[in-house]
Amino acid sequence: MLANVFLKTLRDQRRSLMWWGIGLVALTSLTMAFYPAFSDAPDFDEIFEQMPEALTKMFAGEFTDLTSPEGFLNSQLFFFVVPLMFVIFAVLAGSAAIAGEEGAGTLSLLLTSTTPRWRVVVEKFGAVAVATLALALFLWLGLAAGAVAVDMDISLLGLAAASLSTALLAVAFGAFALALGCITGARGLSAGAASAVAIAAYFLNALAPLSDALTPLQKLSPFYYFIGADPLTNGLNALHAGVLLALTAAALGVAVLAFERRDLHG
């Protein structure tokens, strides 16, 4: 039963993934239902632009055109709410992958199999990544169905690009949480630290345009590479996606090295 860590981890996540997917579809459907009210009332744009700049930047970034499909979805879903949900999902899954097994006392059983340590980490990460991509598919399906229901003129490829970019961001933080779990063996610590870094990275990207001192640091935030090129409107930016993949690979490499070197018998 433990010979395939990847499939076992996916099986263990199936109920959680199902409920996360249902919640995500419900959220997107509810949000999309409000689009006709915004598109038919151009005054919403003026009201939004009159709000304090720091507030709009914090929760909507540069996306203040609420009457266009892209502006509405970016400001209401993709800049804040959707990435928040995805990052939480991936961080919880990543922190549980190794540190959760260790805390539950099942890691020793897992390591008694013939599977080497590095492969356990890689397969655990693979399950986190696949589950996050499956959640992105739920997101895309919910958005596509909602767009048809409210007659929104939006590109399905654009929705797919934004959904995939969200998944790449979340997987990067999931890999970071996994690495922290491999280093510390503490699920709560790894989840908390990864969440703190994610929050700091979000605010850095959101508020950097308001400060000359912070503007040069904006590109240090993974959130910049997730939304900065506006994948919903322009498609997936290969360079930005590559940065997120590189961050993921680096975190996974740290996770493998840390887990290989840890003394789990002390």
Q: What is the pTM of this model?
A: 0.92
Tokens 């929050």 sit on residue:
199
**50: pLDDT confidence band, cut at 50, 70 and 90?**
low
Residue 8 has pLDDT above 80, yes or no: yes
Distances (CA, A) of 189 to 79, 99, 181: 27, 9, 8
**What are the structure tokens assigned to 59, written together?**
């929760």
Over pLDDT 90: what percentage of the chain? 68
Tell me what the mean pLDDT of segment 153-165 comes to: 96
Count other C-beta atoms under 10 Å from residue 122's C-beta. Answer: 16
Between 174 and 34, name the one with better pLDDT: 174
**233: pLDDT confidence band, cut at 50, 70 and 90?**
very high
Residue 210 has pLDDT above 90, yes or no: no
Q: Would you state the pLDDT for residue 110? A: 76
Over pLDDT 70: what percentage of the chain? 88
Question: Among the listed ranges 4-8, 60-64, 88-92, 141-145, which one has the minimum average pLDDT value?
Answer: 60-64
Tokens 């740290």 sit on residue:
254
Tell me what the mean pLDDT of segment 87-93 comes to: 97
Residues 11-45: tens digit of each pLDDT = 989 999 999 999 999 999 899 998 888 776 666 55
Residue 123 has pLDDT above 90, yes or no: yes
Residue 180 has pLDDT above 70, yes or no: yes
Tell me what the mean pLDDT of segment 162-184 comes to: 97
In the Cβ-directed half-sphere of 76, how many Cα atoms lie within 13 Å? 22
Tokens 């076992």 sit on residue:
8
**67: pLDDT confidence band, cut at 50, 70 and 90?**
confident
* DSSP-derived secondary structure letter, 210: G
Q: Would you state the pLDDT for residue 1? A: 44
Q: Which residues of 86-106 are buried (b: 16+ CB within 10 A; e: fewer)?
A: bbbbbbbbbbbbbbbbbbeee
